[in-house]
Amino acid sequence: MAVNNERAVYRSPLSSRYASAEMSYNFSELKKFSLWRRLWTNLAKAEKCLGLDITDEQIAELESNISEIDFDRAAVEEKKCRHDVMAHVYTYAAVCPKAAGIIHLGATSAFVGDNADLIILRDGFDILLPKLARCVQRLSAFADEYKQLPCLGYTHFQPAQLTTVGKRACLWIQDLLMDLRNLKRAREDLKFRGVKGTTGTQASFLELFNGDHEKVEQLDEMVTEMSGFNKCFIICGQTYTRKVDVECLSVLAGLGCSVHKLATDLRLLASLKEIEEPFEKEQIGSSAMAYKRNPMRSERCCALARHLMTLIQDPLMTHSVQWMERTLDDSANRRLCLSEAFLSADVLLTTLQNISEGLVVYPKVIERRVKQELPFMATENIIMAMVKAGANRQTCHEEIRCLSQQAAKVVKEEGGENDLMIRIHKSDYFKPIVSQLEHIMDPSTFIGRAPEQVTRFLKEEVHPALAPYSGCLSDTAQLHL
């Protein structure tokens, strides 16, 4: 079969189906090879400034051809020489005949390859950070709105003491705040590889500048600054240490972990019919079961988060086998794991923002579930009230234990409602506190300081963390699928 259209060849679902245009472009060939040309131009500019025989005309020629790349020619060249950097040197030189002789002067392949990758990683974090901040902000508004709504807490996914809907959301937010801090730190810790030569010794540049160490250092600093970095590695082999990739993908894996936990909670809550993700008017939950409202966005988050979390294995193993100054078994692996990690994180945050902008809460369902379990939870409070009224604690404990077992039998064996409070009302033993039962059974008395904790958490931790992103929090997230 002839393969003559894009639908007949494999494309990564991350770029073709899920990820944003901006993140897809960030890892595109056009950006990558345009960056290579920009780096060659910056190197030539700095070398000229420091006294090498390079003309303004050559620089202008390089500048004018940075984005116009003949990819077909580059492919032909790479097929001949089996070297991607030299293929693009030849392709660039073909349109810059006057500057051909000074392209890549003194550099090794890692000069363009590694430095471009570091720029792309930095720009990737710059795309992710505002998206993560928006997720935190949307969930914070949700937490504030529902900070006083009592709901059943779960430990081991078994009914536990009450919490509030807003307080539970703060558990998610707290994880995401840690991710915001970690992504920001990873971004700020990025250093430029700089101008270091074949094994990181800068020997070729020292030769170009006739042994002038100061000029070599100036060259390194100038190209670093021209490329948007304020610091570069003092020490490197042929490449920047692949430990950097480990650090970058570690924080992205951590983000994946947080989103997976959050999305799993939402899937469970959707099953309980307490909270649901957005569901469009014409959305179909199942091709067979027309009534279904599947949490497909949260499920997508879990699916892609699992992929993101596994990607950390690649840089871990790659760094561990970079013999001496480097080996080339990192190259093909890094083409896959770096792009896929950032694209996956991008999809997760866009989807999570969309979810958090349209969460639907069902207070009546939440209230019903609370009422089903609250009588059992209130037994200790009832015992204490009876003791205050003069009863013996042990006797009271036995009375309420028997009534609780009878009520539990109705729930578990007969499928009925929890009638413990009815039984207590009818019991002569508990008559001294019947007038207090309504107050004892008020759910708001079982949530402790949850509302106050939410208020303090938002004020002291969330709002300060979001302040640097105040100018980019208004964008909404649109999902096409």
Active site residues: 156, 286
Structure tokens at 359: 């969460």
Q: Which residue has the tokens 């005949």?
A: 97
Nearby residues of 34 by Cβ (< 8 Å), 6 or more positions away: 66, 67, 69
44 Rama sector, left if φ>0, alpha if ψ -120 to 50, beta otherwise: alpha
Nearest to 444 by CA among 165, 239, 258: 165
**How far lies 184's CA from each of 59, 251, 334, in Å?**
35, 10, 22
Structural contact between residues 434 and 425, judged by C-beta atoms closer than 8 angstroms: yes
Beta strands, E only, 202-320 = 275-276
Round to whole Å and give the CA distance between 380 and 25: 60
Round to whole Å and give the CA distance between 192 and 221: 10
Structure tokens at 242: 């692949």
Nearest to 236 by CA among 122, 113, 52, 337: 113
Could you give the residue ranges of the DSSP H alpha helices within 50-192?
56-64, 71-81, 84-95, 109-145, 165-189
Burial label, 365 (beta-carbon count in 10 A; 0-12, 13-18, 19+):
middle
Nearest to 19 by CA among 176, 124, 138, 134: 124
Round to whole Å and give the CA distance between 180 and 186: 10
Q: Determine the longest span between alpha carbons in the chain, in angstroms.
A: 105
Nearby residues of 94 by Cβ (< 8 Å), 6 or more positions away: 70, 73, 100
Nearest to 194 by CA among 244, 235, 233, 238: 233
Round to whole Å and give the CA distance between 53 and 35: 24
Structure tokens at 206: 């020292």
**How far lies 249's CA from each of 137, 245, 263, 305, 353, in Å?**
24, 6, 21, 12, 21
Burial label, 290 (beta-carbon count in 10 A; 0-12, 13-18, 19+):
exposed
